[in-house]
Chain A
Amino acid sequence: MDVKFLNPFLEAAFVVLQSELGMDAERGELSLERSAATADDISVLISIVGEVVGMVLYSLSEHTALAIVSKILEQPFDEFDELAQSGIGELGNVITGQAGQRVAKLGFDVNISPPTMILGKGTLISTLDFDRLVVPLRTELGALNIHLALREANTVG
């Protein structure tokens, strides 16, 4: 994992959360994790290809996810239904898109995949079983955790 790619994602997340929720996020402690099991109720996985390869995963509790979509759409959500899933997937998509622009400014062109939604804490995903940096971003609505595993395409592991 190349840490120089962390800041573009954090900056993008701060900008998007401020724009979409009207609130600042606070960065929590950085950790290194390796587990094939998802750590939260909801995970949004986005693959990154191009001159930088890997994945970013956004994870959060269902409570936080419902609070976020309720705030953005200005209507209450009681269950994490198709519309709410679409909202959280789009949030991950927009943060990653903005981060991709910032990564491009570092000199690396990237493309991002559509978001994949993984529901359930402890769900085993074999392709998650590698080292990744995890940074929690705390907001008034709860924490959004960013899991990042990226490297330059012409380097190994």
Chain B
Amino acid sequence: MTKIMVVDDAKFMRVRLSKLLTGHGYEVVEAENGEEAIQVYKASHPDAVLMDITMPQKTGLEALIEIRGFDPQAKVIMLTALGQESMVVQAVQSGARDYVVKPFDPDRVMMALKKVLG
């Protein structure tokens, strides 16, 4: 089963995304900040990652850079509530494959995932 890691400091967003993804037949693992994301990624080797950009402790951008450091093939899609172009550009330059702006459209999330999973 294809495994997706959902990373967001808002529990509501993690639950919401997990419901959406499990409803489409994906297995889901969760992390609530960038630091935890790195640990969960190493432990569970997800096929793709949906990760919030702005989080406490370690941001999504910092976690993305670290994850890509030990797995250059990591397929990471960033989630942003702010639509901050500069952060999105930095994320894409750091290896993010795509981004989704909140409030997210479930179809847009699924489309982005299918694209990165090939």
How many chain B residues sit at the interface, stated as a range, is 10 to 19
Is the Cβ of B81 less than 8 Å from the Cβ of A97? yes
CB neighbours (8 Å) of B105 from chain A are: 19
Interface residues on chain A, number (Cβ under 8 Å)? 22
CA distance A82 to B15 in the complex (A): 12
Give the contacts of B1-52 with A (CB-CB under 8 A): 9-13, 15-16, 19
Could you tell me the dominant secondary structure of chain B's interface residues?
Answer: loop
Instruction: Choose from A16, A73, A89, A94 the contact partner of B15 (Cβ within 8 Å).
Output: A73
- Once A72-B16, A98-B83, A100-B82 are accepted as A-B contacts, the answer to whether A86 and B10 lie under 8 Å apart by CB is yes
- Once A97-B81, A97-B83 are accepted as A-B contacts, the answer to whether A20 and B103 lie under 8 Å apart by CB is yes
- Once A73-B19, A100-B82 are accepted as A-B contacts, the answer to whether A86 and B11 lie under 8 Å apart by CB is yes
Is the Cβ of A73 less than 8 Å from the Cβ of B102? no
CB neighbours (8 Å) of A97 from chain B are: 80-83, 102
Q: Which residue of B lies closest to A16 (CB)?
A: B103
Could you tell me the distance in whole angstroms from the C-beta of B21 to the nearest C-beta in chain A? 14
Could you tell me the distance in whole angstroms from the C-beta of B13 to the nearest C-beta in chain A? 6
CB neighbours (8 Å) of A89 from chain B are: 10, 12
Is B56 interfacial (CB-CB < 8 Å)? yes
**B interface residues with partner A (beta carbon < 8 Å):** 9-13, 15-16, 19, 56, 80-83, 102-103, 105
Which A-B residue pairs are the 3 nearest by beta carbons?
A87-B12, A86-B12, A97-B81
